[in-house]
Structure 1
Amino acid sequence: MTSQTTSQFAKPRIDVRALLGLYDPADTTDWGPIRAAQLNAGSQLAVFMLAANVLGAALVTLNFAHLIPVWQLASWGALVAAVGVAVAFRRLSARHRTERAASLKDVRDTMLDGVALGAVWSIAPLLFGIQADAGATLGLWAVVAILIAASAVAMAALPLATIIFMAMLGGSVAALTWLSLSPTLSAAWMLFTTLLIVACYSRGKALVVIRANELALTERDETVSLLLREFEDKAADWLWETDAQRRVIRANPRFAVSLGVDPKAINGMPFLQVLAGPAWESGDFAPGLRDMADRLKKREAFRDLLLPVKVEGVERWWEMTGSPRFGEDGAFCGFRGVGSDVTEARESASKISRMARYDSLTGLPNRLLINETLALAMAEADKWSSRCAFMMIDLDRFKAVNDTLGHPVGDRLLMRVSERLKQLMSAKEMIGRLGGDEFAVVVRDATDTAAVERLAQTIIGVLSQPYEVDAHTLFIGASVGLAMGPRDGRTAEMLIRSADLALYRSKDAGGGAYHAYEPELHTQAEERRVLEMALRAALENDQFHLLYQPVVQAGTGALMGFEALLRWTHPEHGNISPAKFVPLAEEARLIAPIGEWVLRNACMEAARWDSPIRVAVNVSPEQLHNPAFASFVATALQDSGLRPERLELEVTESVFMREGTAAVQTLEMILDLGVRLSLDDFGTGYSSLGYLSRTRFSSIKVDRSFVQGASKGSKEAIAIIRAVVALADSLGMATTAEGVETEDEHRMIQALGCTKVQGYYFGRPLPVLEARGLATRESGGTSVAA
């Protein structure tokens, strides 16, 4: 407040352009009232300047009466009077409008006044003076000198208009003097005019500074009055004073009222006794009171000293400030200071601190308090050469609860989870919520590693038990990442990072387990980061290409189509497996632009095939949840010229697990285009028969894991394939078996009733040109199996 107020009321810095009315500075000074003062000062002397102009014109007329025709002098005098009246009238009429504040335009328009008066007065020396003798010239010089001097004094409040008038009139007289008298006198006249211009500017600046200071003083007085009124209304502070023996003297009424006692009763009492209250007899003083006693004893000033005070049996918190007093002879006289009751402010600060450090939903410590607690645990472990631990907990399958039952049920489930976790914590552990479905445990003493690992296992087991929420029986699980400090991180941030990497490992393993941090996890994370950076540039740098794997008819081996498979060749890392970069692309939200590139290029290539062979393209769930994807499919077909029935989009069952999205509507729009749909990896995921019956799929793909299992005699795999074939037949769909690599597998799949097959037995994924050649041969009747 002090520095801000000081700068606000400092002496204003006057900008030359602002003074002249050419510029509106963006500083703290309000120029509206200052410009109003300039205009009002000019209007006050408007009549005076009108009289000076008329009188001056009359004197000039008399001066040239014997040399210039009367009609010319009369015409010029009338012109001077008309311009003078117009200027005076305009300035007087604007007084009501610019009384309190004026705009930059108001001041800038006065320039026209100076130009008009300067122009009509310049006629006298430039037109009449040329025909005059030396005496008439000197007479004109005297009149103009008086007029310019009067303007410099009277109209200095409007320096722009006045300086223009003086410069024009002074310049014209100087020109006359140069021509009729001598260059020396002309130079003297120019010097005289320049000095008057400088004087006019200085006077105008002084008037502006005075007005600016008046405004600043007024504002300061208003601010001080406001602060005093606020102080009186709140009545929150009081004065206190002691003598050299630390006894209360001249007890302030507010001080006594705050203590709940009579002011006369505490006069002469020891100051510390007054503050200690009932604790004075027992000697059980608060630390703040002991600190104050020490400062009073040493005669040291103190500030914002916080201490508890009992007022009518209720504990209040006071903030005390004091300084020693010394007499004129330097002798110590006692202390004087100010006290404030900050109980409410302290309670508010405590509430704010709690809100900032505790989760509003579960009541558990939040990320801020977790980080602070972990930092303290790390410091203690470093101090005593011991160990601490940090666990990150992520709930498995919690997102499915939110998506299917809604966030209110999810919030109540999180509260049940937090209750279970709190029951597992001992005095040396703290559980908190990081956000969403992530929790964390700080283990202050982790010298017993086996006990920490048992706690991690217990957490997983307890959280995996069923929950009853709103008549729903919910099953979730938990994954845990564990890091030990300071072994796995010298700082809290590093330990959290290590636990996060360990948690990532647990999630990758399928969840429901815990993993401790290992140094290679950091290496893997760095490799993943580098790979993600390379992936972001892969599309732009044209590093992707497509291979096409044949899909044939199970009975005849005739080519039915190709499945477009994405491949990535990096200039440094070489060929990167789709199993490695596709999940990374989905996680980094890059799968949509990559998927669009695949679809666009696959359609372009399929349009080049002469035969009506289809092309199948895998589509990510993220693409289908975008309502604009159907429009992109239509655009890709139109740009390539491929008929819609020759395009088959392969989707997985996971696309139907997100409630409240546009996936089903997007699929319906795609089907309306005439595009075929295939359900990929059926039986490996959620297997929702409801979505299968409601969506118009043209085929179901049997995963290669069932094909390989059936080839090894697995009864379960054979039963699943038969069930999928029977289901597809009843719904009018074809079945495609993936991963057929031998003739025996082909015969088995054919016997089980699959209508289409693909795999290495019929061909590996082919480059573009080879796939194009195979499609051309197929159109001539050649079988792929042949």
Structure 2
Amino acid sequence: MSTQPSPSRVAVDLGPLLALREGTDPAEWSRIRATQLAAGRQAAPLLFAANLAGGVAMLLLTLGIVPVWQIAGWLAILAAVAATVAVRRLRTHHRSDGYAEIEAVRRTAWEGAALGAAWAIVPLFFCPHLPAGIDAGAGMVLAVLTVAAAFSLAPLVLATIGFLAVLGLAAAGQQVLDGHGAAAAGVALFTLGQAAICVTRARGLVVLRAAEIALEERDETVSLLLREFEDHTADWLWETDAARRVVKASPRFAVACGLDPVGINGMSLLQILAGPSWDSGRFAPGLRALAEKLKARESFRDLRLPVIIDGQERWWELAASPRYGEGGQFAGFRGVGSDVTEQRASSDKIARLARYDTLTELPNRLLINESLARAMADAERWGSRSAFMLIDLDRFKAVNDTLGHLVGDRLLVRVAERLAQLMGEGSMCGRLGGDEFAVVVSDASDPNLVERQAHRIIETLSRPYEVDGNTLHIGASVGLAIGPRDGRTAEMLIRSADLALYRSKDAGGGVFHAYEPKLHAEAEERRLLEMALRTALERGELHLAYQPVVDAGTGQLTGFEALLRWHSAEFGNVSPAKFIPLAEEARLIAPIGAWVVRTACAEAARWPGHVRVAVNVSPDQLQDAGFVTTVTQALATTGLPAERLELEVTESVFMHEGTGAVRVLERLLDLGVRLSLDDFGTGYSSLGYLSRTRFSSIKIDRSFVQAAAKGEREALAIIRAVVALARSLGMATTAEGVETQAEHRMVEELGCTKVQGYFFGRPLPVEEARALANRRIAHAA
């Protein structure tokens, strides 16, 4: 900072104030002049309006007294001069926080004088011809205009005094010519008074602005010092001259640059920072940004750029402000610098954690979404296509539940490795979470290539894995969507791919489906079905049908299987294959299942004592320990003996061992409830849970019965094996789907103890089932 006294510390001299000579601190006065010019620009519209208003007032006063052509001509001159002055003021580019040359202020004197000359026409040529009263009114207009100028144009002192001087001299001179000496003296004193007021106000404004400048300089200095000595990230000060050469280099700055503290002075700052890239011209973006700031002489902060020190890349953060000499000329920059290599490495690590999956090290959902948005933007720009694939692993949950999450995590890592190897140029894969992955294809102009890639993904991910001594078999389902055809935004394209994946999973997995518009219609249908299903119980739309189960040898009725049916007021009869999975997805299976148990028990209590009722139980119901309470209350309320209730579960229940499903089954068995294993052999077959769980019967799926009836040796062998296994464990066997007498005879010969199917009766309404139970003997259809 300059050591010269500033306007804020001494009286403001009239010379610098009027821009007649330079101030003692040229740099500070340069900033003060910029403030004066900026204030004049802001007041320009007001000044123009005031002149027009005064001109109109004068027109009204002189109308009918002064010839019209004279007053019109004067108004035109006044408007032209006022408009010219306003335009000149508005076109100035000076800012209140910038710098201005002294000549810029001096030129405003001509503007004030020109306006004064335009108004001087009134006292010199119009007032001598006006009556006394009108003459006084014109004088009042001039007086008001003079006072307004003294106050509103105070920042531009030279222009205001030029205006007052010309107008005051003309008015006083007219009074002298008319022989009114006293009036002329009064006009002169009034003009001098307004000039004094203008100077006083201008001095006050200058002192205020000088104080602001001093505070800004102190703040800047304190900020630099604090960053240098108190903030550990600010390591050194640096300074350059107007040619961007290093001057007064601090030893710490020289050491940071790896240079000699003496030899560094005079070197180009940009060349030092560029290092080896100076000769090649391949500059980092940060260095280019620094060069632009130095060229524009603009202050900057938090500017980061890489530098090579002793062959190693470091990251620096720079902040600086321009310096000005005593004459207001640019003298260079002064700033601080710090080494932020460690902070940048930490920031990069945080950014990577925010965008990469920690387990597989693949891009995560955030980065995948960003990449998809960029790919779609590029495709729209070039008129091409982009694609998005959603990948869901088949049977992964079984691995997690049976072998544990550690094995599951290692399997996910292996899946990620295989998936990454399939990515070519323009493709990116990532993990969205759980066992769900995604692929972004930047250029999907050829849909056949994308579809072949989807097939390769399924084939590659479905090969066996060796993890911790276990051979694991999983699969993959893929949903594909191509933009912008299937969605114009990333969110829409992901939604379309999700619908396509849903179709792949619904088809049994291990396949890929491309998005089709009808999938949206199906999704909407599922949504509407779900909404209707939520109120189906309240509306009484659910009911049970009962299918007979008979002894294979005698044909005597042994029980019924309760089958859930839904007749919707909106959709009619809805297939259980459609609404039961929907109930499980929507978490409606618990209340619906509880209603089925209560209703089936209440109906079975009306039947003869030897007739049982079987109720299908979803694996999701067994995850809730409250299901035991539901069964207990149903038995207690209806009075049905526990041994007459048989709960049918599928093998998938035992994929949830870690969640307590088996413990719920054990508690139910302790109540005396019978347990039947449904669809044996179609799921994750294991003999282990057969020995651990007290099943009363095993149900053979209808697919084996029908295949055996056609003579398929494998199906016959499976039925014989199941029957033999059940006998050895003391369990009954029930053959499902028996539709003909030949099938009945076959399963009887194979050793099945009970049969169920259309040959013995279709699912019956409650009244017919009750009547059949009371007859005790089932008749063949």
TM-score (norm 1): 0.66
Q: Kindly provide the CA deviation profile for residues 555-613 of structure 1, in whole angstroms up to 9, marking residues without a partner as x.
A: 43332222111112222112211111111222233222221111112112222335442
Question: Is 1:337–2:335 an aligned residue pair?
Answer: yes
CA distance in 2, matches of 1:673, 1:230: 79
CA distance in 2, matches of 1:252, 1:289: 21
Q: Kindly provide the CA deviation profile for residues 257-302 of structure 1, in whole angstroms up to 9, marking residues without a partner as x.
A: 4334455444444433443345555555433333323332333333
Using a 3 Å threshold, how does the CA distance of structure 1 residues 250 and 442 change in structure 2: closer, same or farther? same
Corresponding letter in the other structure for 1:634: T
Corresponding letter in the other structure for 2:580: V
| SS state at 2:580 partner | helix
CA distance in 2, matches of 1:770, 1:639: 24
CA distance in 1, matches of 2:661, 2:291: 74
- Contact persistence 2:228–2:237 (CA under 8 A): no
Using a 3 Å threshold, how does the CA distance of structure 1 residues 271 and 715 change in structure 2: closer, same or farther? closer
- Contact persistence 2:558–2:611 (CA under 8 A): yes
Using a 3 Å threshold, how does the CA distance of structure 1 residues 328 and 573 change in structure 2: closer, same or farther? farther
CA distance in 2, matches of 1:375, 1:235: 36
Corresponding letter in the other structure for 2:549: V
- Contact persistence 2:542–2:565 (CA under 8 A): yes
Q: Which residue of 1 aligns with 2:654?
A: 656
Q: Which residue of 1 aligns with 2:408?
A: 410
Corresponding letter in the other structure for 1:499: A
Corresponding residue to 2:422 among 419, 424, 427: 424
> What number of residue pairs does the alignment pair up?
559
Q: Which residue of 2 aligns with 1:598?
A: 596
Q: Kindly provide the CA deviation profile for residues 379-412 of structure 1, in whole angstroms up to 9, marking residues without a partner as x.
A: 1111111122222222222222222222222222
| SS state at 1:258 partner | helix
- Contact persistence 1:237–1:339 (CA under 8 A): yes
Using a 3 Å threshold, how does the CA distance of structure 1 residues 239 and 765 change in structure 2: closer, same or farther? same
Corresponding residue to 2:348 among 347, 350, 362: 350
- Contact persistence 1:428–1:443 (CA under 8 A): yes
Q: Which residue of 2 aligns with 1:378?
A: 376
Q: Which residue of 2 aligns with 1:168?
A: none
- Contact persistence 2:552–2:748 (CA under 8 A): yes
Using a 3 Å threshold, how does the CA distance of structure 1 residues 643 and 236 change in structure 2: closer, same or farther? same
| SS state at 1:539 partner | helix
Corresponding residue to 1:687 among 679, 685, 700: 685
Q: Which residue of 1 aligns with 2:397?
A: 399
TM superposition shift of 1:480: 1.9
| SS state at 2:620 partner | helix
Q: Which residue of 2 aligns with 1:707?
A: 705
Q: Kindly provide the CA deviation profile for residues 214-237 of structure 1, in whole angstroms up to 9, marking residues without a partner as x.
A: xxxxxxxxxx99x95995262625
Using a 3 Å threshold, how does the CA distance of structure 1 residues 466 and 746 change in structure 2: closer, same or farther? closer
Q: Kindly provide the CA deviation profile for residues 128-160 of structure 1, in whole angstroms up to 9, marking residues without a partner as x.
A: xxxxxxxxxxxxxxxxxxxxxxxxxxxxxxxxx
Corresponding residue to 1:322 among 295, 320, 325: 320
CA distance in 1, matches of 2:272, 2:750: 98
Corresponding residue to 1:539 among 520, 537, 540: 537
Q: Which residue of 1 aligns with 2:514?
A: 516
CA distance in 2, matches of 1:620, 1:281: 74
**RMSD across aligned positions (CA):** 2.8
TM superposition shift of 1:653: 1.9
Q: Which residue of 2 aligns with 1:698?
A: 696
Q: Which residue of 1 aligns with 2:615?
A: 617
Corresponding residue to 1:580 among 578, 589, 610: 578
- Contact persistence 1:558–1:785 (CA under 8 A): no
- Contact persistence 2:723–2:752 (CA under 8 A): yes
- Contact persistence 1:556–1:783 (CA under 8 A): no
Note the 1:270-285 alignment, pairs <5 A. Answer: 270-280=268-278, 283-285=281-283
Corresponding letter in the other structure for 1:422: A
CA distance in 2, matches of 1:287, 1:693: 70
Corresponding residue to 1:756 among 739, 754, 757: 754
Moved more, 346-355 or 394-403: 394-403
Corresponding residue to 2:287 among 282, 286, 289: 289
| SS state at 1:333 partner | strand
Q: Which residue of 1 aligns with 2:476?
A: 478
Note the 1:151-550 alignment, pairs <5 A. Answer: 231-232=229-230, 234=232, 236-261=234-259, 263-280=261-278, 283-326=281-324, 330-550=328-548
| SS state at 1:420 partner | helix
Moved more, 579-588 or 319-328: 319-328
- Contact persistence 2:604–2:612 (CA under 8 A): yes
Using a 3 Å threshold, how does the CA distance of structure 1 residues 285 and 674 change in structure 2: closer, same or farther? closer
- Contact persistence 2:234–2:336 (CA under 8 A): no
Using a 3 Å threshold, how does the CA distance of structure 1 residues 267 and 621 change in structure 2: closer, same or farther? same
TM superposition shift of 1:370: 1.5
Q: Which residue of 2 aligns with 1:676?
A: 674
CA distance in 2, matches of 1:358, 1:442: 15
CA distance in 2, matches of 1:277, 1:230: 24
Corresponding residue to 2:552 among 540, 550, 554: 554
Q: Kindly provide the CA deviation profile for residues 717-746 of structure 1, in whole angstroms up to 9, marking residues without a partner as x.
A: 444334433333343332222223344443
Corresponding residue to 1:724 among 722, 744, 762: 722
- Contact persistence 1:611–1:775 (CA under 8 A): no
- Contact persistence 1:559–1:784 (CA under 8 A): no
Unaligned runs of 5+ in 2: 1-221
TM superposition shift of 1:647: 1.0
TM superposition shift of 1:681: 1.6
Using a 3 Å threshold, how does the CA distance of structure 1 residues 497 and 235 change in structure 2: closer, same or farther? closer
CA distance in 1, matches of 2:756, 2:345: 72
Q: Kindly provide the CA deviation profile for residues 515-558 of structure 1, in whole angstroms up to 9, marking residues without a partner as x.
A: 22222222212222222232233334433221222222334333
| SS state at 1:317 partner | strand
CA distance in 1, matches of 2:475, 2:490: 27
TM-score (norm 2): 0.66
Question: Is 1:733–2:737 an aligned residue pair?
Answer: no
% identical equivalent positions = 74
- Contact persistence 1:318–1:339 (CA under 8 A): yes
CA distance in 2, matches of 1:461, 1:550: 45
TM superposition shift of 1:307: 2.2
- Contact persistence 2:386–2:442 (CA under 8 A): yes
| SS state at 1:650 partner | strand
Note the 1:98-113 alignment, pairs <5 A. Answer: none
- Contact persistence 1:538–1:544 (CA under 8 A): yes
Using a 3 Å threshold, how does the CA distance of structure 1 residues 400 and 250 change in structure 2: closer, same or farther? same
TM superposition shift of 1:252: 4.2
TM superposition shift of 1:755: 2.8
TM superposition shift of 1:322: 2.9
CA distance in 2, matches of 1:235, 1:364: 33
TM superposition shift of 1:247: 3.4
TM superposition shift of 1:759: 2.5
| SS state at 2:397 partner | helix
